Structure 1
Amino acid sequence: MSPKRKNIELIELLAEQAGCTYLSDLRLEDYRCRLEGCLQKMDIERYGEEEWAEAANYLTGTPKEEIATKVQARRLILEKCRKE
C-alpha cells in the first residue's frame, strides 16, 4: 500500500494485498489462500468494528448485526477461506 492511500477501506486493502483485479475476486476460491495470508498478517486494530463487520458480511454473507467484534469478523472470514 502506498503512503498516499492511508484511508483505504479494509475490503479494498484485502483485495489489493491478495492481488485481486476486482473486489468481487475476493470471493473466488482462487484467492482464498492469499486472503487468508493477508488476514493473518494484518493488524486487527487498524480498522474499526464496523469496517470489520462490513468486510465479514461481504465475504461470508453473515449479517452485520450478528458480528459483535473485530475478532469474530476476522474469524468468520478465515473460516470461509478454509471451507469449500
Structure 2
Amino acid sequence: MKKDTREELLAVIASKAGCIYLSDVILPIYSDKVLGAIESIDENEYELKEWQETVEYIIGNKSIHIKDCKEAKEYLIHKLWKSRL
C-alpha cells in the first residue's frame, strides 16, 4: 500500500536510522544509518512524488528529476555511499 505524504517516508527513514528529529536525516553522523534505512524500504510503498521530495530534501537539490521510485531509491543510495568516501 502506498503512503500519502513526504513526512511519512521521512519519518520512516528517520525512525529506522535512529534520528531524534526528521531533520537529522541530513546530518553526516547519521548517513550510514540513513543509508541502511533507505535500503530496507520497498520503493513501491511510496508514490514517486514523495520519493522525489525525499531525494530533494536529503540531497539538498531541487533540480533533480527522477523518473520512477526505483531510480529515486537508487539515487539516494548512490549519493549516500559516495558521501562516505
Match of 2:27 in 1: 28
Structure 2 Cα separation of the partners of residues 64 and 71 of structure 1: 18
Q: CA deviation at 1:64?
A: 6.2
Alignment check: 8 A CA contact 2:56 2:64 kept: no
Larger relative contact order, structure 1 or 2 (CA cutoff 8 Å, min sep 6): 2
Structure 1 gaps of 5+ residues are 1-5
Q: Identity percentage over the alignment?
A: 32
> In angstroms, what is the RMSD of aligned CA positions?
2.0
TM-score (norm 2): 0.79
Aligned residues: 79
Q: CA deviation at 1:65?
A: 6.1
Runs of 4 or more, structure 1, over 2 Å off, are 61-65
